[in-house]
Structure 1
Amino acid sequence: MGCNLRDLATAHPLDLGEFSGQRVAVDVFLNAYQFITSLTGADGKPLSYKGQPVAHLMGFLDRATWMLENGIEPVFIFDGRPHELKMETLAGRRIRKDNANAKWEAAIEAEDMALAKKLGPQTAEYTREMVAQTKRLFDCLGLVWIEAPMEAEGAGAVRCANGEVAAVASQDWDTLLYGSPVMIRNLTSHGRRKFGRMVVAEKIVLAELLENHNITREQLVDLAIMIGTDFHPGIRGIGPKTGLKLIREHGTMEAVAEVKDFEMPEDIETIRGLFHNHPIHPEPLPESTKAGEERLREFLQGEFGFSERRLERALKRLANANHLKSDSQPTLFDF
């Protein structure tokens, strides 16, 4: 999840109409994990059909068609190959997941389904097969998806800065470090209840954050490195508030290191470069097409047992958004 900048950012409740008629980049992996950890069965594992997980498809079908009905065109971005500096972070996540799996298996063996339900989401995996299925769903929906060279939120941020999308929808605060002018949190959870409270999408504007704290983006990146990112664990004893005070007083991480007597990261320029010059593929984003009803039915009902009610709700939203075609029964929208 990268660096937590929540304490420094001002989040504004999102007016969906603000992004009507515009493209918004969506970080696929974080949203996929949201779906497979919330749409679970009695054992805490993702909802499935004949042994195949379907929670990711349910979640993306519902939220993608909801966005289209609200005038927002999602552009889905998948993570690419992680940088070598992130490997330590990923290894730590793997260890935590293995530990959770062992506890979950013990709970199942003890027939403690309440504990299994609680532990299940901690064991969630978004497998390569599930990734491929998600891409097929987007193809059936006529929606654009791309694979980033490295970090999805990084690629989205660069394309937002370039004007190709209006915002980046992600839970990862690193989106701002990569330079996205606008970040949207909770977009795919908007209007849902979580822990008894209604979730509302929030907009965070990078320029506002920088102005409010009287810092530059370069200083924000240095601040984040001191707090801790996916590429560096951070400096012990420095959190967001302390780090902000230090970076405003001394200007750079090097100057702070001199005053506080800590060693600079060996790969500091590489880390800075990952945030300031994150790679993207040179090709422009392709255009979306209309969803194919027959393809959706064959894929979701034929292969994954989706109910008619669930599919009809999605088809109605697509029709309302003028984003649906039927090969066998053309509608007025097709002409």
Structure 2
Amino acid sequence: MGIKGLMKLIGDEAPSCVKEGEMKNYFGRKIAVDASMCLYQFLIAVRQDGAQLTNEAGEITSHLSGMFYRTVRMIENGLKPVYVFDGKPPEMKSHELKKRAEGREKAKDELEEAKETGTAQEIDKQERRLVKVTKDHVRDAKKVLELLGVPYVEALSNLIEHSSILSKDSLCFKTPVLLRRLTMPESRKLPVQELHYEKIMSVLGLTHAQFVDLCILMGCDYVPNIKGIGPKKAFELIKKHDNIETILQNIDLEKYKVVDDWQYKDARRLFVEPEVYKNIDPPKWKSPDIEGMIEFMCVKNGFNEERIRSGLKRLEKSKGKINQGRMDDFFKISKVVSTSKPTPKKDAKRKAGKQKGNTAKKLKR
């Protein structure tokens, strides 16, 4: 889930902080990619005639197709992806995991009802709600990456030191650059979105501590939000009262219901003092194991050999690309322009300075 409503809040309050571009703009960059989120997207999106892809044994292979072709496309555009697989989730995430499990149980009942009385569209909707990334999916994905020669790491408690990643809550860990839509299907034609942590804090006018409390108020994977407080209200409260403790002292607790034993302090600690896995070797990209990939993707899982070999050729060809100028500007913080109107005093000084400069130019002439 990440942070509920965060992108809407940024879009409303700090739209200048969202820059859109193409994948090729990140040529030569090492990109940390949320593997679990990708696998979920692939299982949802990669389908044929409305159903997930399967091999002859009836095993799902949609995630293999997505992982192979999306990784090839990223490398083809000059990116250096490093996939990050989740480690053991923190105990505090149990409420979110329980909520997801309850949602799947509800989807099972609604799927059975849809099969009896619903449309094909309703059946497809409920089947997608039942999608879950399993250990087998993760194992298969790692196998594809190994054969492609692409590095991956298993995060300790869901976090590594990184420059960019796909999950929105990574901004709570001061991720310098967040890239969204990087692994979206080409058919959706959505541009990559780039967000800079420092610029967002500056435009929103928040400290890191305030931003973390804001995200907790909106709802995160560790604790639920306060009922009745959405993104806009949460932002107003943080700007006015600075932190959750002061907010709880000043809001109507009859109107805004707080769950019993709301462990917001523990959630805050997970964001502010995360368990970081620092002792990892630098990632290395190797040449793909072509015959090993053909054996795994085509012989074992039934993919078209000509298409897989074509993808591998594209991968090999991408190595010969010449980096025509590093795209460093894409990872520099742009100048933040205040959205507030200038005061009359400041505006007068600005005009006076401009007139003085014009006078000096005339004298020189």
**TM-score scaled to structure 1, two decimals?**
0.85
Give the CA deviation at 1:308.
Answer: 2.3
Preserved CA contact (<8 Å) 1:27 1:78: yes
Q: Secondary structure at the match of 1:24?
A: strand
Give the CA deviation at 1:105.
Answer: 3.8
| Equivalent position to 2:107, from 95, 100, 103 | 100
Q: In structure 1, what is the equivalent of residue 9 of structure 2?
A: 8
Preserved CA contact (<8 Å) 1:39 1:47: yes
Against the structure 1 CA distance between its residues 115 and 269, is the aligned structure 2 distance closer, same or farther, given a 3 Å change threshold?
A: closer
Deviations 1:169-209 (CA, angstroms, capped at 9, x unpaired)? x1x3211112211111100116432xxxx311111111111
Q: C-alpha distance in 1, partners of 2:146/2:298?
A: 16
Against the structure 1 CA distance between its residues 39 and 105, is the aligned structure 2 distance closer, same or farther, given a 3 Å change threshold?
A: farther
Structure 1 residue 213 corresponds to structure 2 residue 220: no
Q: Which runs of 5+ in 2 are unaligned?
A: 11-16, 321-365
Q: In structure 2, what is the equivalent of residue 223 of structure 1?
A: 214
Deviations 1:33-58 (CA, angstroms, capped at 9, x unpaired)? 1111112344x542111201110010
Give the CA deviation at 1:270.
Answer: 2.1
Q: Secondary structure at the match of 2:82?
A: strand
Q: C-alpha distance in 2, partners of 1:182/1:101?
A: 38
| Equivalent position to 1:48, from 32, 54, 64 | 54
Q: What is the number of equivalent residue pairs in this alignment?
A: 306
Q: C-alpha distance in 1, partners of 2:200/2:274?
A: 21
Q: Which runs of 5+ in 1 are unaligned?
A: 161-165, 324-335
Larger Rg: 1 or 2?
2
Preserved CA contact (<8 Å) 1:8 1:209: no
Task: Considering fraction of residues, name the structure with more strand.
Answer: 1
Mean alpha-carbon deviation: is it higher for 309-318 or for 24-33? 309-318
Q: C-alpha distance in 2, partners of 1:250/1:203?
A: 30
Against the structure 1 CA distance between its residues 112 and 228, is the aligned structure 2 distance closer, same or farther, given a 3 Å change threshold?
A: closer
Preserved CA contact (<8 Å) 1:190 1:201: no
Q: In structure 2, what is the equivalent of residue 20 of structure 1?
A: 27
Q: In structure 1, what is the equivalent of residue 89 of structure 2?
A: 82
Deviations 1:218-251 (CA, angstroms, capped at 9, x unpaired)? 1000011111111111122222222112211221
Preserved CA contact (<8 Å) 1:33 1:124: yes
Preserved CA contact (<8 Å) 2:82 2:283: no
Q: C-alpha distance in 2, partners of 1:299/1:111?
A: 38
What amino acid is aligned across from residue 177 of structure 1 in structure 2?
A: C
Q: C-alpha distance in 2, partners of 1:268/1:121?
A: 32
Preserved CA contact (<8 Å) 1:77 1:148: yes
**Matched residues, percent identical?**
28
Q: C-alpha distance in 2, partners of 1:207/1:36?
A: 34
Against the structure 1 CA distance between its residues 242 and 107, is the aligned structure 2 distance closer, same or farther, given a 3 Å change threshold?
A: closer
Preserved CA contact (<8 Å) 1:45 1:124: no
